Amino acid sequence: MITSIRNNYLDYFNIITGTLVWYYYICKREVWLMSHYIVPNQADERILLGKIISENSYGREKREIRIKNLVLDIISTKNENIIVAEVKKSSRYIKSATMQVKFYIWQLKQLGIKNIIGELRIPKEKKKIEIYLTPKDEIELKKVLEDIKNIILRPQPELPREQKYCRLCGYNEFCWI
């Protein structure tokens, strides 16, 4: 009964964001921390660099559009398509960034918006990668959202597990001190 109420609460407030989907593919501990408003070190030079790249790239296009729980870096049109783009500082987290964009496409599709093409833009590497949502992706995203909800509902985060991303993580000091 309580789990049902809590799950409805999560659905009602739409607290799952593209950022949480992105973190899910990197570190589930980060999902819990971010969803409980524990933010990474904002003075971390990699986080600051990411913000600078995002703010100063693609200046002619509409920036940071908010729709419900979505924060889209760029939205534009091309022919009869809507382009939803996410700007990243590197391709190091390509899988997580791709799934973040697919999440945005899927959520916009749920709102009745059609003809959406996703893009992953990495200005530092001069890359622009087109991203499309497949039925297989939709099945995966449904499972991911359910798993994220379960992570959020835990009373505390899982213990840190060292992995290749830890050294450059904004939560590094929080996990390892």
Q: Is residue 174 part of a domain?
A: no
119-168 pLDDT, tens digit each: 999 988 999 999 999 999 999 999 999 999 999 999 998 888 888 777 77
Number of domains into which the chain is organized: 1
| CA distances to 7, 61, 71 from 65, in Å | 27, 11, 6
Which residues does residue 116 pair with via DSSP β-bridges, in sequence order? 82
55-100 pLDDT, tens digit each: 665 555 556 778 888 888 888 888 999 999 998 888 889 999 999 9
Sorted by sequence, the CB contacts under 8 Å of residue 51 that are 6+ apart come out as: none
**What is the pLDDT, as a whole number, of residue 13?**
43
pTM exceeding the 0.85 threshold for the entire prediction = no
Owning domain of residue 29: 2-169
**What is the pLDDT, as a whole number, of residue 159?**
86
Identify the CA nearest to 145 among candidates 29, 36, 34, 17.
17
Q: Is residue 12 part of a domain?
A: yes
Domain containing residue 122: CATH number: 3.90.320.10
Q: Is residue 40 part of a domain?
A: yes
| CA distances to 25, 100, 142, 158, 167 from 68, in Å | 22, 15, 18, 28, 33
Tell me how far apart the alpha carbons of residues 116 and 41 are, in angstroms, rounded to a whole number.
34
Instruction: Look at 7 and 134; give whichever has higher pLDDT.
Output: 134
Contact predicate 73/64, CB 8 Å: yes
Tell me how far apart the alpha carbons of residues 47 and 89 are, in angstroms, rounded to a whole number.
9
Q: Is residue 177 part of a domain?
A: no
